[in-house]
Amino acid sequence: MLVLDADTGVVNPDHCIEEWIDPRFDLIFYERFFNWEIASGNYLVKNTLFAKDFLRKWADWEYIQPSNWNGADNGVLQIHIMQTVMPEAKQEIENCDSLWRNATGYDTYMAYVLCVKLYMGSVRMWPNKIRILKRAHGWVRDGFLTADHWCDKDFMIHGWKKQEIDTEGWESPFKKMPNSSQCGYNYKGWYWRKNYHVDVNEIRTMLKKFEQNAGKAFPSVARIIPFLIEPDVGLCYPNCEKIL
């Protein structure tokens, strides 16, 4: 099943969602480009016991998530995935959870996101469980990353809202709304503004620049190394290994 945010839509009908389906995994997520969060709004899920249990437990966080600035379902997803794929990392999970529950705004919340990312490391694949796609490599990405320009590699764009057209100078990449009744008849019904469709190399250049700026703009208060500021063995010694 494909789950999509309400402001996500197809920009390039030359792709199919099957290109991103990987039968080795029950759930497929991707990282948001601008802040390295694992995105909660768009994902692929297989009808398996593991996936249904994962979604049920994710939903149950509604009743136990902290009441501070917590990132809502996005915030919950980070630690829920960490608990699912690294259940033995008890102290590390507690460390990230502590940062999460003490967040007072977006900047301090990002310390929690970074904590999860650092502890999980470079691993992105847990067979029969979860896969997390690299930034800009999912079936959807945020439109503002490239000023709403897109290339042949793109499939869907997130963040396009009808009510925001002509608001603060924003221009829709479409001359008018696509006509769904003409779908399937070649490119009829797709009213693109041609200047928004650019070469893949141009998109790569835009993403490279955004990537560099995102790193520089990352909140200073969130630039933490959890194992330097949070406990490792101090709370569980001499029984840290027995917890596993």
Q: Tens digits of per-residue pLDDT, 124-152?
A: 999 999 999 999 999 999 999 999 999 99
Q: What is the pLDDT of residue 183?
A: 77
Q: Are 74 and 37 in contact (CB under 8 A)?
A: yes
The rounded distance, in Å, linking the Cα atoms of 2 and 46 is 9
Q: What is the pLDDT of residue 137?
A: 97
Sole residue written with tokens 């029950």: 26
Angle between helices 90-101 and 72-85 (to 10 degrees): 170
Residue 243 has pLDDT above 70, yes or no: no
Confidence class of residue 166 from pLDDT cuts 50, 70 and 90? Answer: confident
Residue 169 pLDDT level (bands cut at 50, 70, 90): confident
Give strand ranges (E) for 12-148. Answer: 27-30, 43-45, 125-126, 130-133, 140-142
As a whole number of angstroms, the distance between CA 198 and CA 206 comes to 11
pLDDT recorded at residue 224: 93
Residue 6 has pLDDT above 90, yes or no: yes
| Mean pLDDT for the stretch of residues 19-35 | 97
If one counts the domains in the chain, the total is 1
Q: Residue 23: which of 45, 7, 40, 3 has the closest Cα?
A: 45
The lowest-confidence range among 21-25, 51-55, 177-181 is 177-181
- Reported as a pLDDT band with limits 50, 70 and 90, residue 185 is confident
Predicted TM-score of the model (pTM):
0.93
For residue 244, what pLDDT is reported? 55
Place of tokens 């835009």: 206
- Helices vs strands, H then E, count in the chain: 6, 8
- Of 102, 72, 4, 80, nearest in space to 44 by CA: 4
- Over residues 2-8, the mean pLDDT reads 95
How far apart CA 176 and CA 197 sit, in angstroms, is: 15
Is-contact 8 42, C-beta < 8 A?
Answer: yes
- Residues 231 and 211: their CA atoms lie apart, in Å, by 31
Query: What is the C-alpha separation between 59 and 165, in angstroms, rounded?
Result: 33
- Across the range 48-54, mean pLDDT stands at 98
204-241 pLDDT, tens per residue?
999 999 999 999 999 999 999 998 999 989 988 888 88
Q: How confident is the model at residue 29 (pLDDT cuts 50, 70, 90)?
A: very high
Q: Flag whether pLDDT at 167 surpasses 90.
A: no
Interval 171-198 mean pLDDT: 86
| Mean pLDDT across the chain | 94
| Contact predicate 142/34, CB 8 Å | yes
Asked if residue 146 lies in contact with residue 207, where contact means CB atoms within 8 angstroms, the answer is yes
Residues spanned by the domain of 191: 1-244
| Spatial separation of the C-alpha atoms in residues 146 and 142, rounded to whole Å | 8
Structure confidence at residue 54 (pLDDT): 99
pLDDT tens-digit readout, 75-109:
999 999 999 999 999 999 999 999 999 999 999 99
